[in-house]
């Protein structure tokens, strides 16, 4: 059955204990630890968000990864974009899950890599009693050419894997924060040369655009082939309504440090502004967001989208897919945010409230 779009889902390879999380949040910590502790912050607030079919899984188990892939395939997802953490000089974290996928050849499901080029600190989660001070766990660095080579060579076996997702025959590589890189043009140019030397057809670089501070044109001018357009910040500002409402809300958030005026937005208002005319450009790939609620990570300081339902997601998915329908087949890419970001209330896997409803909506809209 032919698809209307190439849906690629962001995938977090975190759901298993690692030494760094053990150290800063306690032995055995995973995303599930705080997901289960989340509390509703207002009437009708859906928390905690708990998994259904797959349960509180451990990603070290191959059967779980197989089940995720089959579930995604049936819903029309082309593949997973695994978040990849490279802090410079070979320092990595959470790489073991993807390395096992690569080594084992399973699941037999397409994938690509997205470089989450940001520092890690213990501010990611609300801290417990043992670690009240802010601590930088890993600092993101950009050491230069030698590190480019080391980084590329680490990724090369993935690029050459038959499952790796390509655009126009070139491996797709996504960069989370292009503007944070002091030498992004040089990095892109260097990797293109390395790719050619390795026998690849080149590289297809995609930059993620998160807010109005950076334009699509700016990112393309840095050498990127395409831009993943995420309009969340603009949508949140527009969903607040009048200028006066925005100022009052901003003042309350600042005075109370987010403890009184919750950063909450009705999903039906947010989805009005998540797409834009630029999404129709051949080299712009829109984003599809199933929901967003960071209560598990940040408590009262969280950004919360509430009242998101399969019915509203259906309406929104139709609009986003319409944005790419006139493009060449290779470029009908939509990034699904996300497959399994449970702590951000941003997932497609079945939960205890909606079951498979969001997956069913996606399938209905993706397949012709």
- Residue 222, token pair as written in the block: 């840095």
User: What beta strand segments (E) does 247-364 contain?
Assistant: 263-266, 284-289, 303-306, 333-337, 340-341, 346-347
Concatenating the DSSP letter of every residue in 265-292 gives: EEHHHHTTSS--GGGGSTTEEEEEE---
- Whole-number Å distance between alpha carbons of 236 and 269: 9
**Contact indicator for 291, 340 with CB cutoff of 8 Å:** no
Phi-psi region of 201 (alpha: psi -120 to 50; beta: other; left: phi over 0): alpha
Helix (H) or strand (E) holding 96: helix 96-104
Residue 127: the pLDDT is 43
Q: At what angle do helices 96-104 and 145-159 cross, to 10 degrees?
A: 40
Cβ count within 10 A of residue 110:
22
In the chain, % helix, strand, coil (3-state, to 5) comes to 40, 20, 40
* Range 41-58 average pLDDT: 96
Q: Please tell me the distance from the alpha carbon of residue 57 to that of residue 63, in angstroms, as a whole number.
A: 10
Residue 17 has pLDDT above 70, yes or no: yes
Domain locations along the chain: 6-366
Q: What residues contact 340, with CB distance under 8 A and at least 6 apart?
A: 11, 12, 15, 68, 347, 348, 349
Over 60: is that where the pLDDT of 23 sits?
yes
Residue 131: the pLDDT is: 44
Question: Taking residues 224-245, what's their average pLDDT?
Answer: 84
Among 223, 304, 221, 247, smallest CA distance to 270 is for 304
The dihedral through the CA atoms of 47, 53, 55, 59 has a sign that is negative
pLDDT tens profile 51-104: 999 999 999 999 999 999 999 999 999 999 999 999 999 999 999 999 999 999
Q: What letter would DSSP give residue 3?
A: B
Choose the weakest-confidence range: 177-181, 238-242, 331-335.
238-242
Give the whole-angstrom CA distance, residue 127 versus residue 19: 17
| pLDDT band with cut points at 50, 70 and 90 for residue 138 | confident
The structure tokens listed for 368 are: 């012709």
For residue 333, what are the β-bridge partners? 6
CATH ID of 6-366, from 3.60.15.10, 3.20.20.100, 3.30.70.100, 3.20.20.80: 3.20.20.80
Buried b (16+ CB within 10 A) or exposed e, 230-262: bbbeebbebbbeeeeeeeebeeebeeeebeebb
Given a cut of 90, whether residue 239 has pLDDT beyond it is: no
Residues 105 and 57: their CA atoms lie apart, in Å, by 20
**DSSP annotation of 201:** S
């Amino acid at each position: 059955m032919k698809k209307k779009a190439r849906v690629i889902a962001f995938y977090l390879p975190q759901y298993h204990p690692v030494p760094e999380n053990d150290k800063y949040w306690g032995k055995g910590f995973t995303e599930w630890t705080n997901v289960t502790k989340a509390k509703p912050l207002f009437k009708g607030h859906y928390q905690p968000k708990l998994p259904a079919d797959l349960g509180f899984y451990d990603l070290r188990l191959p059967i779980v990864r197989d089940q995720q892939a089959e579930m995604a395939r049936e819903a029309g997802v082309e593949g997973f974009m695994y978040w990849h953490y490279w802090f410079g000089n070979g320092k990595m974290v959470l790489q073991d899950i993807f390395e096992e996928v690569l080594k084992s050849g399973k699941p037999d499901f397409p994938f690509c890599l997205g470089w989450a080029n940001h520092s890690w600190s213990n501010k990611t989660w609300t801290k417990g009693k043992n670690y009240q001070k802010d601590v930088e766990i890993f600092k993101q660095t950009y050491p230069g050419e030698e590190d480019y080579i080391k980084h590329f060579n680490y990724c090369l076996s993935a690029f050459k894997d038959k499952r790796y997702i390509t655009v126009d025959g070139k491996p797709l590589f996504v960069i989370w924060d292009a503007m944070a890189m002091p030498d992004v043009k040089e990095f892109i140019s260097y990797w293109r040369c390395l790719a050619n030397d390795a026998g690849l057809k080149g590289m297809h670089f995609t930059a993620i655009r998160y807010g109005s501070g950076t334009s699509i044109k700016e990112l393309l001018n840095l050498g990127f082939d395409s831009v993943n357009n995420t309009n969340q910040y603009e949508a949140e500002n527009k969903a607040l309504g009048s200028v006066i409402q925005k100022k009052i809300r901003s003042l309350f958030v600042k005075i109370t440090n987010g403890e009184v005026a919750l950063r909450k937005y009705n999903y039906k208002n947010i989805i009005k502004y998540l797409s834009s005319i630029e999404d129709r450009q051949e080299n712009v790939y829109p984003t599809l967001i199933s929901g967003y609620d960071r209560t598990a990570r940040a408590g009262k300081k969280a950004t919360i989208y509430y009242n998101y339902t399969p019915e509203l997601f259906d309406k929104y998915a139709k609009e986003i897919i319409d944005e790419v329908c006139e493009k060449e087949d290779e470029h009908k890419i939509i990034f699904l945010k996300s497959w399994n970001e449970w702590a951000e209330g941003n997932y497609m896997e079945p939960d205890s409230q909606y079951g498979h409803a969001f997956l069913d909506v996606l399938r209905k809209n993706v397949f012709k």
